[in-house]
Amino acid sequence: MNLSLDEKLTLLSGVGFWHTNSLHDKIKHLELSDGPHGLRKQLDGEKEAEPAVCYPTASALACTFDPGIIGRIGDELGKECKEKCVSVLLGPGTNMKRSPLCGRNFEYFSEDPYLAGKMASSFINGVQQNGVGTSLKHFAANSQETHRMRSDSVIDERTLREIYLKAFEMTVKNAQPTTIMASYNLINGKYSCENKWMLTDVLRNEWGYKGIVISDWCACSNLTKSVQAGMDLEMPDSLGIHKECIRKDLENGLITEEEIDAAVNRILEMVEKIGQTESEEATCIRYTMDEFAALDSTKRRHKLAYEAAVNAGVLLKNEDILPFNTTDKICIVGDLAVKTRFQGGGSSHINAVSYPNILECMQDKFTNITFARGYDSFRMEMDERMENEAISLAQDADIILYCGGLTDLAEGEGYDRETLKMPPNQIHLIGKLQELGKKLVFLSFGGAPYEMEGLVNFDAVLHMYLGGEAVAEAAVAILSGLENPSGHLAESWPLHIEDTPAYHNFASREKHVPYTEGIFIGYRHYNSKKIPVQFPFGYGLSYTDFEFDHLMVRKNENGFVASVDVTNTGNRSGKALVQLYVRNCKGDFERADLELRGFEKVTLNPGEKKEVNIEIPMSAFAVYDINAKDWVIPEGEYGICIGKSVEEIELSENVFVEGVKDLSLPKCEPKIPEEDGEAFTITSSFLELAEYSETARQIMDEVTRGIQETYPDKSLEDPFIRMVLETFKDGTADSAAMLNRNLVTYDRILKAIEEANENYKK
């Protein structure tokens, strides 16, 4: 297609927040929409997204250990995108969970790259079979929300390859996502959008990626460097500012038209493949909430959301009290019983149909129910009146069902949690309830692990994570025995924050964040270093029992295959999860003791036996050798282990694997890059600029007031407002202009930077 230079430069930036440029309908365009656990189609200028089905978040879906159900959800999401004229669904989130305190962990699958890669691949294949694109994100090492637009993830290459890039590599090779979203953060001193090694050398040249790379929203502050690195499209539009910058750089010989053409051609190919015309988008039907709720497709998808939530629920403890009897006299305590939390806050927030909460579902199943709020989920402070009411009602019950965990105030996009503990008002209330000496069951919600207060005194614990719009129905179905829980933890639950591998350097206010723990994140850390946890990776109970036996490992042309018999030895049907770990051979280098290399979930009736076969490719034994710049297999004896969790290995058989003899690898040590240039630039934050610039201080005050005026019904502590303010203050000055375009002009930002540099030199 013949395009003018101006048209080419125009295509490199979006239009508004959610569209690519159609050049006045000369070409097709893409409409992008947030996801991934639902469709958040929000038109420019509108505060509320269109109604959509809300599925369990990634943290919950990973606990299903079932790529099949995730593929089905992807398929339905792809169909829903098609119905609503959305070209690209922005997800899935595939970042590794470096610390349980990351505020956005509910959007990510796991601390294990193999599990995350399997889940992401299935999700993407499900969506894209409908002619709709996805955006694998956030590429890469986006491990914290603190300074998320400016923090530098400093990681040695072996750790980067084996942990933080591995799930992305698996997904690119197994699913070829139509787009990949470059993250906000720097990696070893270079912004992800400007990181040629990541976007071109590794992603395209090594992995064979064929799609387009887009920026996270306002992650691109230098369009010239980003295009040269391999990024194709900046989102959202940059008000024409970046376009003029790249035009000047072209005139000055800092970029070539051939480099621009490479990005433009990839965009043209993509919009032709999955894009739409402006007239096609104009015909898209919009539904009211009532109209959407009445659709047969909505009802069908709600059933799938329920099935996924049931499969994701993890029974963490059960001392013969669950399932409940219909005659039990149950006192339900906890604000989350009526304000049931089913999704996280931020850019993935879905405008879902209203469905029954926990209290309503319990009242539908049981006849002898009382209820007290006990605490306010939108506050951290204790309410004595609420507590006293709960204690009074609970005294007359046979069983107390406590509904609690992490509230919207405790976790969300844009900020990290400051503690592993539960909200203080819940801690105090739990202590009072446990003093009653009653049977006590904990129905837990939250997107990430936390210190479960008084765990030893609970008779049962069921954790539902953030289980989507049907989570209340699913939770009560499990509590009542209608459904048998089969979820298993996709992340470790530590005992104390001091035990976590990144404790000393997570979410600090420093720009450079060294990943000194190297490859030892999650269970690789706890298991290898013998650190006790609340609940181990892979852990989950059932209402029936399973037995594993007759492990056989045989060699085949691709590596090995392990077969094991699984028998349901209990008295009801259930789903067994077979987890295959490789116990690594010893060598002259750091390596985790056990690593997940396969899994299979099977349904068994009472007394039924099935043989499960799991392939183990040779890549399961490989490590990344930074000297050879390649994956190599250390020669030695490995254990093929079958477990019910990483700490419950039931069967093991050793195999000898040929490879590199006496391999020696250097220690995983991150190296802080050297700083150069001006003290303050367009990538400095307003918090930094405000220390030296009166103009920056004025802008901060104006934006804060503007946000409050825009959302007069929300306080500064509201999770959404907190995310917006944190993003503004901690993000780059460049991003502040793009995200607050009605409140901040670019000229004033440049003036603030100039002031700050002048005052800093003084």
Residues carrying an active site annotation: 216
Q: Are 580 and 562 in contact (CB under 8 A)?
A: yes
CA dist., res. 94 & res. 166, Å (int)? 10
Give the SS3 label for residue 304: helix
Q: Are 372 and 394 in contact (CB under 8 A)?
A: yes
Instruction: Identify the CA nearest to 58 among candidates 171, 195, 152.
Output: 171
Give the chain's length.
762
Contacts of 406 (CB under 8 A, 6+ apart): 341, 422, 423, 445, 446, 447, 448, 450
Beta bridge partners of 444: 404, 463
Residues 408, 411, 414: CA angle, nearest 5 degrees? 110
- For tokens 């996805």, the residue is 134
Sign for the pseudo-dihedral over CA of 191, 194, 196, 198:
positive
CA dist., res. 692 & res. 689, Å (int)? 6
Beta bridge partners of 564: 612
Please provide residue 602's backbone torsions phi and psi, each rounded to the nearest 5 degrees.
-130, 145
Please provide residue 632's backbone torsions phi and psi, each rounded to the nearest 5 degrees.
-135, 160
Task: Find the helix packing angle between 296-312 and 471-480, rounded to 10°.
Answer: 50
CA dist., res. 429 & res. 374, Å (int)? 7
Instruction: Identify the CA nearest to 132 among candidates 197, 66, 81, 174.
Output: 81
The secondary structure of 96-127 as a DSSP string is --S-TT-TTGGGB--S-HHHHHHHHHHHHHHH
Cβ atoms within 10 Å, residue 279: 8
Helices (H) and strands (E) in the chain, counts: 23, 26
Please provide residue 754's backbone torsions phi and psi, each rounded to the nearest 5 degrees.
-60, -45
Sign for the pseudo-dihedral over CA of 393, 394, 399, 404:
positive
CA dist., res. 363 & res. 369, Å (int)? 6
Residues 63, 66, 72: CA angle, nearest 5 degrees? 115
For every residue of 731-742, which 3-state class applies, written as one string?
CCHHHHHHHCCC
Alpha-carbon distances of 313 from 56, 184, 232, 335, 544, rounded to whole Å: 10, 32, 40, 20, 15
CA dist., res. 358 & res. 405, Å (int)? 14
Task: Find the helix packing angle between 471-480 and 358-365, rounded to 10°.
Answer: 40
Task: Determine if residue 145 is left, alpha or beta; phi over 0 gives left, psi from -120 to 50 gives alpha, anything else beta.
Answer: alpha
Instruction: Identify the CA nearest to 413 among candidates 89, 731, 706, 711.
Output: 731
State the DSSP code for 194. G
Residues 748, 750, 756: CA angle, nearest 5 degrees? 100
